[in-house]
Structure 1
Amino acid sequence: MQTTIRRALIVIDVQNDYIGGNLPITWPPVEQSLANIGRAMDAAKAAGIPVVAVQNILPASAPFMAEGTTGAELHPVVTSRGWDHYVQKDMPVAFCKTDLEAWLKERQITTLAIVGYITHNCDLSTAIAALHRGFQVEFLSDASGSLPYANKAGSATAEEIHRVTTVVLQARFAAVMTTEEWLQSIASGAEPERDTIFASHQRAIKGV
């Protein structure tokens, strides 16, 4: 028996430090992802899908997202459109020490569509946590973004990190799609394509 999809759009950490600030997103190009975040928010409003704005606020001594700084403020793409619920957090997962889960379940939300930043940190951890809490997850790959890393374990470009994270998400945790595909899905009511670890692995070893 098919369950009726009741979505919420979760707009994660679209803050100034990620848009040319102290921790700039570089892939996909941030201008592209910002435009798609705006499109997703507009479509959600038109379809009656509640929008949740999430904001990461760190201590005043932090090098980014520091409390009271311009970098920590939500970007105008979000503030100009407004939201149905607001969540402030200080950890990657949007569910940690917040009322998000209770708010969603009170409204019988079944599916979370995630946009925002960063793909491989707050987006990924929130998607995993959502699955563990019984939600279905959709991830809009071109309405999110990554940045490069270099540390003891090695280095990776923003494009590599974003691509690999979306592959991992699609294999178990979320239906990964473009913003355009998501708009078509909410218009038609069609279920997005989901996958499994086993099937993803089989395609890899068979070169499909």
Structure 2
Amino acid sequence: MTGFWIVIGLCVVALVAYVILSLRKLSVPTTGAVIDGAMRPETALVVIDVQEDFTRNTGKRAFDPKKRDAALEAISEEIALSRKSGHQIAFVSNVFRDWPVILAMKLVGGGVGTPGREGLKLDRTLDVRGAPEFEKSIGDTFSNPDFEAWLAEKRVSRLILVGLDTCYCVQLTARGALARGYQVEIREPATLTGTPDKWPPLKAELGDAGVAFA
């Protein structure tokens, strides 16, 4: 019986370690090969996680409706401006795929962002108009290799980031971009965060790292 309980104990330890790693992975930016910006003159607007599970959430983690509507209007303006300027546009959607994260979101987050939900669709106000949409399951958009390949195909070296949450997926995508040598700008009026107290120190860190703000 002693051997049996040792095996059970090891399995429990392994399971706990996997859960911790899965949750930690959500908030760790990725790294990758540094691009040659001189060969990539284009700019892309990246609209991050503006999905109805988040923008239309009515639970205790819901955004203030006035702030949400103002941010959505600013995002739509950025989309229109990018089209007028001839910039590339990409939309990013978050769908949690690791079962520990799915379980956690169902237990404490009302299931938002988990597979099969109607709310995974992009917010009804967005004018997608055939622009590509990339799915990710962690904070940094660069975790999806198809996104990085698309940026290479379009010869993009400058990213304008909008969307949500500023303190999580937006800033993590910014860090992933910086690690690869991209120029990054965050358009603050076109972002949302559920933790505004965390943003000032994060903004200072990002500014020191080279992110521009407008």
TM-score above 0.5: yes
What is the match of residue 174 of structure 1? 211
Deviation at 1:160, TM superposition (A): 1.5
The one-letter amino acid paired with 1:77 is: T
Q: Does 1:65 align with 2:113?
A: yes
C-alpha distance 163-27 of structure 1, shift in aligned 2 (>3 A): farther
What is the match of residue 124 of structure 1? 171
What is the match of residue 11 of structure 1? 47
What is the match of residue 83 of structure 2? 45
Deviation at 1:171, TM superposition (A): 2.1
Deviation at 1:83, TM superposition (A): 4.6
User: 1:103 aligned to 150, 174, 183, which one?
Assistant: 150
Q: Deviations over 1:69-118 (max 9, x none)?
A: 1322210122x333522101111110113311111012211100000010
The one-letter amino acid paired with 2:45 is: L
1:110 and 1:28 mapped to 2: Cα distance?
A: 34
The one-letter amino acid paired with 2:209 is: R
1:126 and 1:83 mapped to 2: Cα distance?
A: 23
- Contact 1:50 1:83 (C-alpha < 8 Å) held by counterparts: no
1:167 and 1:131 mapped to 2: Cα distance?
A: 15
What is the match of residue 36 of structure 1? 74
Indicate the structure whose relative CO is greater, using CA pairs within 8 Å and at least 6 residues apart: 2
TM-score by length of structure 2 reads 0.70
- Contact 1:27 1:145 (C-alpha < 8 Å) held by counterparts: no
What is the match of residue 165 of structure 1? 202
Identity of aligned residues (%): 25
C-alpha distance 7-108 of structure 1, shift in aligned 2 (>3 A): same
TM-score by length of structure 1 reads 0.71
Deviation at 1:43, TM superposition (A): 0.6
What secondary structure is seen at the aligned counterpart in 2 of 1:11? strand
C-alpha distance 82-162 of structure 1, shift in aligned 2 (>3 A): farther
What secondary structure is seen at the aligned counterpart in 2 of 1:110? strand
What secondary structure is seen at the aligned counterpart in 2 of 1:138? strand
Q: Does 1:55 align with 2:93?
A: yes
The one-letter amino acid paired with 1:121 is: Y
Structure 2: tracts of 5 or more residues without a match: 1-36, 106-110
2:198 and 2:158 mapped to 1: Cα distance?
A: 25
What is the match of residue 150 of structure 1? none
Deviation at 1:5, TM superposition (A): 4.8
What is the match of residue 135 of structure 2? 88
1:97 and 1:127 mapped to 2: Cα distance?
A: 14
What is the match of residue 25 of structure 1? 63
C-alpha distance 101-93 of structure 1, shift in aligned 2 (>3 A): same
2:192 and 2:65 mapped to 1: Cα distance?
A: 5
The one-letter amino acid paired with 1:144 is: T
Q: Deviations over 1:42-90 (max 9, x none)?
A: 1111111111000001256542112221322210122x33352210111
Deviation at 1:31, TM superposition (A): 1.2
What secondary structure is seen at the aligned counterpart in 1 of 2:155? coil
What is the match of residue 142 of structure 1? 189
- Contact 1:11 1:52 (C-alpha < 8 Å) held by counterparts: yes
1:81 and 1:97 mapped to 2: Cα distance?
A: 20
What secondary structure is seen at the aligned counterpart in 1 of 2:91? strand
- Contact 2:135 2:144 (C-alpha < 8 Å) held by counterparts: no
User: Bigger radius of gyration, 1 or 2?
Assistant: 2
What secondary structure is seen at the aligned counterpart in 2 of 1:77? coil
C-alpha distance 116-72 of structure 1, shift in aligned 2 (>3 A): same
C-alpha distance 101-64 of structure 1, shift in aligned 2 (>3 A): same
1:50 and 1:106 mapped to 2: Cα distance?
A: 11
